[in-house]
Amino acid sequence: MNPRSMGALAGRSLSPALGAVLGAGLVTLLAVLVAWPVLALLGPARAAAAAGPVLTGLATTALVALVSTLVTVSVAGALAYLATRARGAPSRALVVAMALPLVLPPFAAALALRIGLDAVGAAPVSAVGGMLAVCVAQIVSLLPFAFAIIGNTMRRIDVELEDAAVSLGAAPATALGRVTLVLARPGVGCAALVVLALALADVASPLAVGSAAPFLSVRVVAAAHEGDIALAAAGSLALAVPCLIVWIAALRAGWTRLGALPIELATRPVPPSTRATARAGVVMVVATGALLGVYALVPVAGLRAPVGTPIAHVVATVGASLRVAVAVALVGAMLAFAFSVVAARLPIPAARRLAWLGFATAGVPGVAIALGYLVAFDVTAASAPLWMPIAALATWKLPAAVALLTRRMRALDPALEEVAVSLGADNAAVARRIVAPLLAPALAATFLDLVVQALASASLLLLVATGISASASALTRVAAGDVAGSATLVTGLAVVTVLVVLVRAWLAPREPLALLPA
């Protein structure tokens, strides 16, 4: 696409014909890269010998996911309330600490738990112990997502309503229950749906913890590695259906508006009657220290790893991951930009429907997409071409990128473009001098966010590209019992990821961090 036509896209409303062509192209692309691979699983799934293992695994997964969701939302709600009603360093430190798990591999909390359990000789060998360990790992790793959604909801509640209730004689607890929680109910519901969808699809935590419980995602991976494609396909579809339903419900509940960090703190004065006390500050400090302490176990174990995990191997593996991540980010950023242009410039409801297609891709579990690619394109994990994981990751990670760019695209003032055109500027000049500078921070943030997500991705790459993913390699190692080697890889990956996040903060300090676990 030449600069002149790109300027037309980024400018005022798209013409119906151009919008129809671009929209049809994006729908076709998603159909080929997401829908077709998943639907391709229907064939082998019919040949599954028995439904018993699938149903048992689904029941175990659902039980642990429900418990994790309940505890995660409760803890996140309490911390979000304190963070949005307090001032000073404790609340800011808590928000920063909550962002840490978003940029690490999704099994980092489970790996830290495994390190701690191994240190005290309490490995979760039983099914019940394994379920409990996975539940704890999911709570720690998914806490930031619920914290962000509920925190952004709490921030939008007018604290003067709480102050009015207290001034009329209501106890603080009564005001909290009858005013704050009632107004925060939509955000709490959205947080619960997001956490439930992510917990259902979680394959990394059970593998990293080494649970003996029959989690469905783990059975899918094991069946795929053993060559039982029928059982793996049946399990993938059984997992994909509830995950997709819950994720779509989360989108309808407002994830695109609420699921971002950092939370804006103290945007207006908080009345003394509703302000968090010094005791609340202590709670936030303890929560921050506990979260940082858990994740600190990983680099400590990595630095103490035996000589059998050479630095050269870590550098080579992380370097390969970085190259793939950059390719994923380039493809994903272009797709997200195209979706945002159509979503922002096409008339409603066409734009809304197309944007929803871009958001819905994250509802399909990564193991289902990976297995679908192997079946649809008739390849094995060893022979899968490099474009396959790149295309799969780029489409799977679209939602956060589309949400960010669509918001920024809709925020552009059309009057600026109209004035430039009326003064004789062509579409290319408008795009170069007005649209590009205004969208540059959002585009930079989108690109770097996709780099971070591709670096951390494990579940999708577990079946198609373990050799080129440091995260998937680390997960495979810890599942095989090499905890120290896994910690070394995760530590090296974390160093690169933190550097990318720092560059992002420098280039786009005002853009929110909206990531999904991998």
Angle between helices 16-30 and 311-345 (to 10 degrees): 140
- Which architecture characterizes domain 47-300 according to CATH? Orthogonal Bundle (1.10)
Q: In this model, does residue 192 exceed pLDDT 90?
A: yes
Assign 6 a pLDDT band (cuts: 50, 70, 90): very low
Q: What is the rounded CA–CA span in Å between residue 448 and residue 435?
A: 20
pLDDT tens digits, one per residue of 297-342: 888 776 665 555 577 888 888 998 999 999 999 999 988 888 887 7
pLDDT over threshold 90, residue 246 = yes
The two domains 1-39+305-518 and 47-300 share their CATH topology (first three levels equal): yes
How many helices and strands, by DSSP H and E, does the chain display? Answer: 28, 0
Dist CA 196 CA 201 (whole Å): 9
Who wins on pLDDT, 346 or 488?
488
Calculate the CA dihedral of residues 120, 125, 127, 129 and round it to 10 degrees. -10
Highest averaged pLDDT of the listed ranges 201-215, 219-233, 429-443: 219-233
Rounded CA gap, 219 and 203, in Å? 9
Q: Residue 348: how many CB atoms within 10 A of its CB?
A: 8
Q: Give 30-48 pLDDT, tens digit per residue.
A: 888 888 999 999 989 887 7
Q: State the pLDDT at residue 234.
A: 92
- Rounded-to-integer distance, Cα 489 and Cα 480, Å: 14
Site of tokens 């695209």: 409
When pLDDT is cut at 50, 70 and 90, the band that residue 7 belongs to is: very low
| Class of domain 1-39+305-518 (CATH, top level) | mainly alpha
Confidence of residue 273 (pLDDT cuts 50, 70, 90): low
Indicate the range of 235-244, 314-323, 349-358, 369-378 predicted with least confidence. Answer: 349-358
Q: Rounded CA gap, 486 and 470, in Å?
A: 9
For the chain, the domains span: 1-39+305-518, 47-300
| Dihedral of alpha carbons 49, 54, 56, 57, sign | positive
- 261: three-class secondary structure by DSSP: strand
Residue 270 identity (one-letter amino acid):
V
Instruction: Specify the pLDDT at position 60.
Output: 92
Say what the pLDDT of residue 457 is: 86
Residue 237 has pLDDT above 90, yes or no: yes
Confidence class for position 3, pLDDT limits 50, 70, 90: very low
| Backbone φ/ψ region at 10: left (φ over 0), alpha (ψ -120 to 50), beta | alpha
Burial of 313 (0-12, 13-18, 19+ CB in 10 A): middle
Dihedrals phi, psi of 511, to nearest 5 degrees: -85, 130
- Alpha-carbon distance of 194 to 253, in angstroms, equals 10
Q: pTM for this one?
A: 0.88
CA distance 126 to 113: 16
